[in-house]
Each structure stands twice: as C-alpha cells, then as structure tokens.
A and B are shown apart, each in its own frame.
Chain A
Amino acid sequence: MARRDRYHFKEAGGFVVDATIKRGGEDAAFEIVPDPEVCVIFLKQHVGAPVQPLVGAGDTVVEGQKIGDSDEAMSVPVHAPVGGKVLRIVDAYHPVAGVPAPAVFIERSEDAALPVRLPAFEPGALDDTDRSELLAGVREAGIVGLGGAAFPAHVKLGMRDKVTRLVINAKESDPNVACDVRLKREKPADIVAGIQAMARLLGPNEIVFATRAEPGAFPELEARLARAGVTVAHIRPSYSVGSDKLLVKELFGLEVPCGSYPPDVGVVVHNVFTAYAVARALFAGEPLVSRGLTLISRQTGPLNLWVKVGTPLRHVLMHAGLDPTVYDRLAIASMLMGQSVPNPDVPTLKATAGICAFGPDEPSPYAKQLPCIRCGYCNLVCPVGIYPVLIMEAEKRGDVRRMKKLHAEDCIDCGLCSYVCPSAIKLTGHLRRAIRAVRQ
C-alpha cells in the first residue's frame, strides 16, 4: 500500500497521496501564454485589507503600472499585467472568496507603451542597501506568498526582530503542482538571489531550503545554494508537510502553538516562487504581474505555463489546446485544497499555482457519499491530530462546546480526511462549518 517513490507521498497513519498525475511535469518547460485580450485583476488577492483602485474606467494603463493600493500595513498593491485601457471596475466572481469582489477589467492594446519598472537594486551590493528600501521594494512589487496562502511577503520579511530561521519551502507537495520544481531547474540564479535578499531583510542565523528532491537532482541550484551558505534539507515526500506549520515541525521539531504562526517560534517560511518573485522585483524592477503555474488535464497531462495574473482560465485552456466548454469541473490551486470555479471567465490570481480540468468522464469521486462507518481513517491521517469524524458529529448536532473541545479551529483544511474516507464523505465541509461556528 505504501509505495515509496517521488509521486506517492506518505502521510500519517500509513496512508498515501497519489501524485502520479504530475509525473513528467518537472520535464515540461515553461511555455509563455500570450497575453489575453482582457485581463481581470481583483483588488484583493492577498490576506489582509483590500486595495482601492487608482485608475478609472477609460484610463490608459501600461504593463506594470500600479492600479490599486492601500495605506493599510497588511496589504499589497496590484499592477496592470498588460498595457491597454481600463474597461470597467465592477464586481466579478472571486475564485477564492467564492463571492463577487471588485475587479479591474483591462483590455489589452497592441500599441501600449513599454512596461514600467520599479527601482532596481544591485544584487552585488545588498549588504550596503538600506533594509527599509528593500522592504518597500518588496511591498511595491505587490508580492504575496505564492505557495497559495497569499500572505503579504513584506510583512513576513519585516519580522527581523523575532526571526532566527528562514525556510524556503520548495517541497512542492500539492499532487497537481509541478511549477516549483520546474522553476528550480530554469531559474536557479533568481531563486538564490531572492533568498539572499530575504536573508538580508531578516538576518536569520540559519537558512534552510526544504525540498523533496534527491541530492543532485538540481546541480546548478544546489551549487548556488551551497555558495550562498544555504542548508538544503531533503524532506521525505509528503503532502501535508507542505504546510508551513508542519514543515517547521519536520525541520526543527518545533510546534507552532495554537493560534500562532511560524514567526512566533522564530521561523519564517517562504515559498520558492516567492523568493523568485522577490529577486525579480528587487533586481529587475518587475512587479508581480505574471507567474508560472501547472495546468493538468487528462488530455494534456501536466503543463507548466507562464501566465499573466488576471488571465481568464478560458484563455489558458485554449492556449493548451483545450476546449473549455467540454469540461465538467475546473479547480484552481491544489487538487486537495483548491476551489471550484463556476465558468472559464474566472481569472488567475497571484497565488494561483495550478489549474485542474476534469472532463465528464471524471465525475467527482464524492458524488455518492455513504453513511460514516467510523473507521477512524480520518483521525489516523489528520496531520494536526484532530478528530474530523467527532467534529463532524458535533457539527451536525450544533454542539459548539464540543467542537471547541475537539480543537476544530486547528484544521488546516488539507483535505486528507476526505481523501481517505471509505464512505467518500467530504469532511472538509463539516470542518469548515465547525471552524466558523467556533469563531462566532
């Protein structure tokens, strides 16, 4: 049962997450997806306060121009991914929030002016660069955590006083995401430059690059990391260890207390793509307007694509030679944690690392849920050690006190409980409702 290879991730309780769907993804070079006719840029693509639009309908914008910002500390600006004209600013379906949210629609123009760039720093002179300027550069580039959390990067990078360790999460533990691995192959210099910039900001005692790759899999990157004094930690193939809190435990044996975050135990975790984005922002002046992601469908297998933020999924699918109208379900981000989208006009976000297209011959495996048999598999597999089935029972009864006692709020929404459930029960839905009930 527990086959051990790079595509069978071992989880708690002896269960295995099958990631063979992305086999071959690391060999698929990034293809640049041409800019779409119309980009849809949400004003909130991060954890924290939304931004206010800086443009209006009819305005002309150039690629890289800041089009939304906020005075709030916990916020990052958004930028125009293409040059052209602002068509409108209206509510559109937000794929993460699941509700309509304000978005800027920009029609691409062939004769737009050249992209604008942010002030760039000299990589070789990092030690002489003022840290506050670097931090402001990261913020101005609109960088968020690109592993999926979308936490403003400058906030975490500003925690110099409490942080002693910087961890770069290159585990790529989502079963459908291969773009991080590909990035390590294609952009090693930028990744290391980004890590060095982060280190300059945080001043950690230790920098750890966590990967599930075998030693020697990325010779150029490994050589650069070694020269930069970065420790490479080869972590066991596991899906759940991709979570920041669990990675901290895996690497250092530290548990992040309930209600706290890794910086509270002196660790900052950044995704490898975030490190790359930091390098591009600080040393090339590029705001975050594009990123790599992995598209997976039965027809194409895993494809690594370089896509402008705000590109409608329809455009991405069609670039890959797929007809968006023939699919039954479309999910963004992780297959285990990501959201369904209602139609192909939904755009990518900054933190969109994956797209999964499911055809009519791939119905939801949860379509026929059976009664719970209380086998306890969900408890065995839960990486944070809560009891999903007991929480589900309490949630059905509306017993908030019991849900609190069972620490429902500790759920990290990894989806493993549902994944292993023999009755195909979506426990995640019950857990989300339980979390809401506990927090109310």
Chain B
Amino acid sequence: MKHSAEVQYKMELSPHVHSGITKDALMLKTFALMCVPAVAAVFAMGTGALVHIALAVGTSLVCHFLVYFAELHATGSTSYPTPASPLVAGMIVGLSMPIAAPYYATAAVAALTMLLFKWLQGRVFGRKYINPAAASKVLLLVTFTLLAGLSEGLLFHPHHLRLDMWTAAGFDRAISFYDGRVGLPAIESLILWKDHGWIGGASGLAVLAVGIGAVLWLKLKWRIVMSLMVVMGTLSVLMALITGGSLAGRLAFHLFTGSVIFMGFFMATEPQSTPLTEGGQYVFGAALGLGTFFLQQLNVLGGSILVLVALNLLTPQLDRIGMHRSYGHGGDR
C-alpha cells in the first residue's frame, strides 16, 4: 500500500452526485414528443410533409457533423458533442415550415438555423439570444420579400393578402378555406385536422396534447404558453363580439393554427431565448399573443415568429421583472 503522502485525491466542489438529468435526454424527449405532430402532419398533409421534415432534420444533421468535425479538427473539442440538439432543431424547422413552402426553403432555413443562429450565435455571444429556427425563418422571409415581393415573403401563401380579418364576413370567408378540405367543417378542421399552413399545426389537438405532456414531462415554461393562449383567446372573443362573427370560428382559428399552437409550445418556450422569471414569462407570452394576433389581423399569417424574435431580444430586460419572492423576504420584490 502507498504511504499517505503518495495518495492524492481529486478535489471537487460539492455536490458530488448528480440527478442524471442530461441535456441529451431532454432533447431526445422533446424530439420524441414532436414526432406525434410530425406523424399527424404526414397523415393530414401527405408525403410532402414527410419530405419537409426529413429534409430539415437531415440538413441539420449534416450541418452538425460538418461543424463537429471542423471543430474537432481545429480545436480538439466541439460545441455539440452529440446530435441530440440538432435533431430537435431540425424537427422544429420542419414543423414550422408551411406545407406550401418550396423544399429548398426548408433546407435553407435548417442550414441557417444550424450554422448561423445556433452555432455562430453561441460562439459569438456565449448564448443564444434569439430562437435559431425563428430567426432563420425571419431572415429568409425578409430576404424573399426584399427580392421577390410579399407573396414570396409569406412563403408562397399570396392568397393571405386578399383576406379581410376585420369583418365577420371577411373572416368567415378566410376560414371557409378550410371547409371540407379534409372532409370536415372549417372549425373542426382547424382544431382536429388540416392540410394547410404550418406542418406542425396539421393537428392542433395533437400539438395541444403533446404540448401539455411536454409541460409536465420536461417542465417547459408553461407560463409563456398559458399567457399567449389567454391573450389570443381573449382577443378572439373580443373580435368576435365586436364584429359579430362566429366566436367558435375565431377561437379555432386564432388558437389552433400551427403558427400559434406549435409556435407557442415548441418555439416560444425555447429555454435560452426566453425569460426565466415568472413575471417575465407572463409578459413574454402576453406580448407574443398580442403581437401575433394583430399580425394575423393584418394578414401576416405565420408572422408570430417575427414577434417571437423581437421578444427574444427583450429577454434580458424581462429577466429583471416579475421575480418571485424568495424565502425570508416578506414581500420585497
């Protein structure tokens, strides 16, 4: 046996044990949950949805491995040791694309997400201030709009520009688009099953179910989703009352389109770019709801990501408000 002087133990700060919760496990659970709306999308929207999703995930993985080997070669270490996070990023891109978007747009958004807004943003700022998938999509939308006009900027949904969301008749005409497309009346289609819009929103109900599952299982920032939904729901009711249109139609449209429900659960809760304080999360969600609603009214359907990116930039400020009271401090916050 060695003498005492020869025995040196590794010195570590406490704690000395860990719960076993890992980032990879969280990512893989998120990916698994998102597979539900993905499968629903393929059934509702056809193989086109599958191609979009596969393209987005595949592009993300290719970009991941490019960065992985480049970093290893250059520095001997890598920012993303496993492909778990890129898998999630790819899936989010796939599900946040409109089914009518061209495949190259999906691949471009996935590549921008991985290389520019995920990897480079992290390297430069040490943290992701804006949601990578949302920022990539915004960049592409702005670029398309500047180069080819607003119809392309809306990712090939030019008919949106003809809608009138401020009157009951205009709104009814807008949602009548869904009427009978998948064998269901418009309202049921918006909630249950649709073949138009964001791929991730093909089944609003499926997203709602897995979203609630994610809140419980992964402890997502539920306050953001809740305040988003409450604001959207309240504004829908108000708009229905003011315009005299269908209340159920307003609620189904403003709450269950992919750009609201999928964005709300799986993009607006992205942890790095959203507030940590409870009050900050409520404000974030409420502002997101407000902005999204008015963009929808202005026919910028799917424009929720514009608001999301803008609010992401306000996260450091929102982290300064709405802190809960800590132990022993009465009510001094």
Taking a contact as CB atoms under 8 Å apart, the answer to whether B271 and A358 are in contact is no
- B18: Cβ under 8 A from any A Cβ: yes
- B75: Cβ under 8 A from any A Cβ: no
Q: How far is the CA of A24 from the CA of B239 in the complex (A)?
A: 64
Q: Which residue of B lies closest to A387 (CB)?
A: B276
Taking a contact as CB atoms under 8 Å apart, the answer to whether A386 and B326 are in contact is yes
Taking a contact as CB atoms under 8 Å apart, the answer to whether B327 and A383 are in contact is yes
Taking a contact as CB atoms under 8 Å apart, the answer to whether A415 and B14 are in contact is yes
Q: How far is the CA of A345 from the CA of B319 in the complex (A)?
A: 47
Q: How far is the CA of A246 from the CA of B276 in the complex (A)?
A: 24
Q: How far is the CA of A376 from the CA of B12 in the complex (A)?
A: 24
A380-B219, A387-B276 given; A410·B327 CB < 8 A: yes
Stretch binding the partner chain, chosen from B3-11, B44-52, B133-141: B3-11
Taking a contact as CB atoms under 8 Å apart, the answer to whether A374 and B271 are in contact is yes
Taking a contact as CB atoms under 8 Å apart, the answer to whether B9 and A375 are in contact is no
Q: How far is the CA of A100 from the CA of B110 in the complex (A)?
A: 56
A255-B328, A365-B18, A370-B23 given; A342·B11 CB < 8 A: yes
- B324: Cβ under 8 A from any A Cβ: yes
Taking a contact as CB atoms under 8 Å apart, the answer to whether A366 and B12 are in contact is yes
- B16: Cβ under 8 A from any A Cβ: yes
Interface string of B10-27 (1 = CB under 8 A from A): 111111111111110110
In the complex, which residues 190-229 of chain B have their Cβ closer than 8 Å to any Cβ of chain A? 217, 219, 221
- A284: Cβ under 8 A from any B Cβ: no
Stretch binding the partner chain, chosen from A41-49, A225-233, A322-330: A322-330
- A385: Cβ under 8 A from any B Cβ: yes
Which of chain A's residues have a CB closer than 8 A to the CB of B5? 343
Which of chain A's residues have a CB closer than 8 A to the CB of B21? 377, 420-422
Report the count of interface residues on A (CB-CB < 8 A).
Answer: 78
Taking a contact as CB atoms under 8 Å apart, the answer to whether A245 and B327 are in contact is yes
Closest-CB distance, A206 to chain B (whole angstroms): 22
- With beta carbons under 8 angstroms apart, the residue of B15, B22, B327 that contacts A384 is B327
- B162: Cβ under 8 A from any A Cβ: no
Taking a contact as CB atoms under 8 Å apart, the answer to whether B277 and A419 are in contact is no
Q: How far is the CA of A387 from the CA of B16 in the complex (A)?
A: 21
- A438: Cβ under 8 A from any B Cβ: no
Stretch binding the partner chain, chosen from A14-22, A274-282, A286-294: A14-22
Q: How far is the CA of A332 from the CA of B6 in the complex (A)?
A: 20
- B126: Cβ under 8 A from any A Cβ: yes
Taking a contact as CB atoms under 8 Å apart, the answer to whether B15 and A255 are in contact is no
- B323: Cβ under 8 A from any A Cβ: yes
Closest-CB distance, B177 to chain A (whole angstroms): 39
Q: Which residue of B lies closest to A312 (CB)?
A: B4
Which of chain B's residues have a CB closer than 8 A to the CB of A258? 328-329
Q: How far is the CA of A327 from the CA of B9 in the complex (A)?
A: 7
Closest-CB distance, B91 to chain A (whole angstroms): 17
Taking a contact as CB atoms under 8 Å apart, the answer to whether B127 and A371 are in contact is yes
Closest-CB distance, A434 to chain B (whole angstroms): 14
Closest-CB distance, B100 to chain A (whole angstroms): 33
Taking a contact as CB atoms under 8 Å apart, the answer to whether B9 and A328 are in contact is yes
Which of chain A's residues have a CB closer than 8 A to the CB of B272? 372-374
Taking a contact as CB atoms under 8 Å apart, the answer to whether A340 and B26 are in contact is no
Q: How far is the CA of A428 from the CA of B15 in the complex (A)?
A: 8
Closest-CB distance, B229 to chain A (whole angstroms): 20
- B1: Cβ under 8 A from any A Cβ: yes
In the complex, which residues 124-154 of chain B have their Cβ closer than 8 Å to any Cβ of chain A? 126-127
In the complex, which residues 379-421 of chain A have their Cβ closer than 8 Å to any Cβ of chain B? 379-380, 383-387, 389-390, 406-407, 410, 413, 415, 418-421
Q: How far is the CA of A298 from the CA of B26 in the complex (A)?
A: 28
A345-B4, A370-B23, A380-B219 given; A338·B16 CB < 8 A: yes
Which of chain B's residues have a CB closer than 8 A to the CB of A245? 327-328
Which of chain A's residues have a CB closer than 8 A to the CB of B274? 374
Taking a contact as CB atoms under 8 Å apart, the answer to whether A329 and B7 are in contact is no
Interface centre among B17, B221, B328, by most A CB within 10 Å?
A: B17
Which of chain B's residues have a CB closer than 8 A to the CB of A377? 21, 219
Taking a contact as CB atoms under 8 Å apart, the answer to whether B327 and A339 are in contact is no
Which of chain B's residues have a CB closer than 8 A to the CB of A23? none
Q: How far is the CA of A331 from the CA of B13 in the complex (A)?
A: 10
Q: Which residue of B lies closest to A16 (CB)?
A: B19
Q: Which residue of A lies closest to B323 (CB)?
A: A387
Taking a contact as CB atoms under 8 Å apart, the answer to whether A429 and B17 are in contact is no
Taking a contact as CB atoms under 8 Å apart, the answer to whether B9 and A364 are in contact is no
A373-B23, A387-B277 given; A343·B327 CB < 8 A: no
- A352: Cβ under 8 A from any B Cβ: no
A372-B127, A376-B276 given; A329·B9 CB < 8 A: yes
Which of chain A's residues have a CB closer than 8 A to the CB of B330? 255, 257
- B2: Cβ under 8 A from any A Cβ: yes
Which of chain A's residues have a CB closer than 8 A to the CB of B219? 13-14, 375-377, 380
In the complex, which residues 287-327 of chain B have their Cβ closer than 8 Å to any Cβ of chain A? 319, 323-327
Taking a contact as CB atoms under 8 Å apart, the answer to whether B15 and A335 are in contact is yes
Closest-CB distance, A82 to chain B (whole angstroms): 19
Closest-CB distance, B125 to chain A (whole angstroms): 11
Q: How far is the CA of A200 from the CA of B17 in the complex (A)?
A: 41
Taking a contact as CB atoms under 8 Å apart, the answer to whether B4 and A340 are in contact is no
Given contacts A413-B14, A419-B15, A420-B21, 6 further A-B contacts (CB under 8 A): A18-B20, A344-B9, A368-B81, A376-B221, A385-B325, A389-B276
Q: Would you give 16 A-B contacts (Cβ < 8 Å), ordered by A?
A: A18-B20, A255-B328, A258-B328, A330-B9, A331-B14, A337-B14, A364-B12, A371-B126, A371-B127, A375-B219, A387-B277, A387-B323, A389-B276, A410-B328, A423-B23, A424-B18
